[in-house]
Copies of this chain bind each other. A is one copy, B any other.
Amino acid sequence: MTLHKHQGQFTWDQVNILKYKEEGTHFKDITRQILFAGQPDLPCQWRYFEIAPGGHSTLERHHHLHVVMPIRGAGQALVGTEILALTLFDVVHIPSLAWHQFRATGSEPFGFLCLVPAERDRPERPNAGQLEDLKREPNIARFIRV
Contacts and interface: CB of A to CB of B under 8 A. Distances in A.
Q: How large is the interface on A (under 10, 10 to 19, 20 to 34, 35 or more residues)?
A: 35 or more
A65 B12 CA distance: 20
A140 interface: no
A3 B90 contact: yes
Q: How many copies of the chain does the oligomer comprise? A: 2
Interface string A71-105: 10000000110101001111111111010000000
Contact of A2 (B36, B39, B93, B116): B93
Interface of A: 1-6, 10, 12, 15, 35-36, 39, 41-44, 46, 63-67, 69, 71, 79-80, 82, 84, 87-96, 98, 113, 115-117
